[in-house]
């Protein structure tokens, strides 16, 4: 079966004018423009099947948003092939646009002064959604996100979290088959983030939509994505399951120890990460975990001991630092 999204050797290069500072260079640049090529995305390939929820991870400027924009048709690739639902996104055919949605956290589409319900009506007209379908979808969403009392209030009277919920509903009313989410929970409080994530998960499960999301928050990715693609400097560093990312790149475990005596020095047992009064966290190579644990318990009086995988954030960080050093 053909994949819903297929990207082959995608590259997106920008020519950026390069100029030294100072008056003289400025004048020279008027006549002789020097350019430098920035490779935002460099030879990236992947396929995504229908119904998958895939996370794009990477630091700022890694190429995540660029890739998303190419997939949604906003940017032309410099080279390579992109195919979504059988369409070439850059052609931006109306049929294509009716089946996808791009949601960027912080962008407001709904009318500020009017109740969301009015803006939803406009969305119906924009996407030519048949009336019965529209009503059912809209009411389903309102139930799922518990918005019944809020849809008739002007958007300006809602809190930030409530507004985001409305924006997401508005963005999905046409039941797109493919969803591009760029930092969907940015700026929201923890409860709101959870609600939005739950909704996206529900949307994916109920209607089998394919979801691509970029995020800074590991919690987003952990909650929603089985598969992650790690992008750095425009290249894919990793494309696979999230827990594999942890095992592949992390050869450490984190030990959390609570001692009655806060003055004890634990540096002989492993790398001390944090020290917060009586609680210390240690980083220990995986292979040595049981040995070190045994030593700790026999040498010292320990109130509490936990053994955990390295937090994914740290794994990602170490992936990027290691690649940086490797360069």
Partner 1 sequence: MRRYIDFYLATMRISILEQIQYSVANYFYMIGMITEPVIYLVVWTTIARQQGGTTGGYTVGAFAAYYIIWTLVRNMNIVFTPFGWEWRIREGQLSMMLMRPIHPIHSDVAFFAGWKFVVILLWLPLAAILSWIFKPTFDIRWMEVIVFSLAIWGAYLIRTMLLSLLGMITFWTTRVSAIFELYFGLELILSGRLVPMTLMPVWIQNLSNYLPFKWTFFFPIEALVGNLTDVQLWSGFGMQLLWIATGIFLLNIIWNFAIKQYSAVGG
Reference 138, options 167, 165, 174, 107; nearest CA is: 174
Considering the rule CB under 8 A, would residue 136 count as an interface residue with partner 1?
no
Considering the rule CB under 8 A, would residue 130 count as an interface residue with partner 1?
no
Total Cβ atoms within 10 A of residue 43: 14
Site map for partner 1, 101-120, x if CB under 8 A? xx-x--x-x-x-xx---xx-
Q: Which is nearer to partner 1, 154 or 240 (CB)?
A: 154
CA distance 327 to 322: 9
Q: Is the distance from CB of 170 to CB of 110 less than 8 angstroms?
A: yes
Q: Which is nearer to partner 1, 69 or 138 (CB)?
A: 69
Q: Which is nearer to partner 1, 178 or 228 (CB)?
A: 178
Only one of the segments 53-61, 123-131, 190-198, 258-266 lies at the binding site for partner 1 (rule: CB under 8 A); that segment is: 123-131
Site map for partner 1, 65-94, x if CB under 8 A? -x--x--xxxxx-------------x-x-x
CA distance 174 to 128: 8
Only one of the segments 97-105, 133-141, 142-150, 210-218 lies at the binding site for partner 1 (rule: CB under 8 A); that segment is: 97-105
Q: Is the distance from CB of 198 to CB of 143 less than 8 angstroms?
A: no
Total Cβ atoms within 10 A of residue 183: 18
Considering the rule CB under 8 A, would residue 14 count as an interface residue with partner 1?
yes
Considering the rule CB under 8 A, would residue 288 count as an interface residue with partner 1?
no
Q: Is the distance from CB of 7 to CB of 47 less than 8 angstroms?
A: yes
Considering the rule CB under 8 A, would residue 241 count as an interface residue with partner 1?
no
Considering the rule CB under 8 A, would residue 125 count as an interface residue with partner 1?
yes
CA distances from 82 to 45, 88, 232 (A): 9, 6, 20
Q: Which is nearer to partner 1, 24 or 94 (CB)?
A: 94
Only one of the segments 2-10, 96-104, 185-193, 198-206 lies at the binding site for partner 1 (rule: CB under 8 A); that segment is: 96-104
Reference 89, options 116, 67, 111, 117; nearest CA is: 67
CA distance 75 to 90: 7
Q: Which is nearer to partner 1, 73 or 184 (CB)?
A: 73
CA distance 154 to 150: 8
Only one of the segments 98-106, 135-143, 226-234, 303-311 lies at the binding site for partner 1 (rule: CB under 8 A); that segment is: 98-106
Applying CB under 8 A, what is the total number of residues that bind partner 1?
32
Decide: helix, strand or coil at residue 278: coil
**Half-sphere exposure in the Cβ direction for 157 (13 Å, CA):** 10
Considering the rule CB under 8 A, would residue 186 count as an interface residue with partner 1?
no
Binding site residues, partner 1, CB under 8 A:
14, 66, 69, 72-76, 90, 92, 94-95, 97-98, 100-102, 104, 107, 109, 111, 113-114, 118-119, 121-122, 124-128
């Amino acid at each position: 079966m053909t994949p819903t999204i297929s990207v082959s050797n995608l590259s997106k290069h920008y020519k950026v004018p390069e100029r030294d500072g100072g008056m003289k260079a400025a004048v020279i640049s008027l006549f002789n423009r020097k350019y430098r090529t920035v490779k935002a995305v460099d030879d990236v390939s992947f396929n995504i099947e229908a119904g998958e929820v895939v996370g794009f991870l990477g630091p700022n400027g890694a190429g995540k948003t660029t890739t998303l924009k190419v997939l949604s048709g906003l940017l032309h690739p410099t080279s390579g092939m992109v195919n979504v639902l059988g369409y070439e996104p850059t052609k931006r055919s109306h049929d294509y646009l009716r089946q996808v949605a791009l949601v960027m956290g912080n962008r407001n589409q709904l009318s500020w002064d009017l109740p969301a319900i009015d803006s939803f009506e406009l969305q119906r007209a924009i996407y030519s959604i048949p009336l019965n379908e529209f009503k059912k979808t809209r009411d389903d969403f309102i139930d799922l996100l518990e918005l019944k009392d809020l849809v008739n209030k002007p958007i300006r009277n809602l809190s930030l979290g409530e507004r985001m919920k409305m924006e997401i509903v508005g963005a999905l009313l046409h039941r797109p088959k493919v969803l591009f989410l760029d930092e969907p929970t940015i700026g929201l409080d923890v409860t709101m983030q959870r609600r939005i994530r739950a909704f996206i998960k529900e949307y994916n499960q109920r209607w089998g939509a394919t979801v691509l999301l970029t995020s800074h928050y590991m919690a987003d990715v952990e909650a929603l994505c089985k598969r992650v693609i790690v992008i750095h400097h425009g290249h894919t560093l990793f494309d696979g399951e999230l827990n594999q990312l942890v095992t592949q790149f992390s050869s450490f475990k984190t030990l959390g120890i609570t001692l009655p005596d806060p003055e004890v020095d634990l540096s002989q047992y492993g790398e001390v990460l944090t020290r917060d009064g009586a609680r210390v966290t240690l980083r220990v190579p995986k292979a040595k975990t049981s040995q070190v644990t045994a030593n700790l318990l026999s040498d010292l009086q320990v109130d509490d001991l936990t053994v955990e995988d390295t937090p994914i954030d740290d794994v990602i960080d170490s992936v990027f630092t290691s690649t940086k050093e490797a360069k």
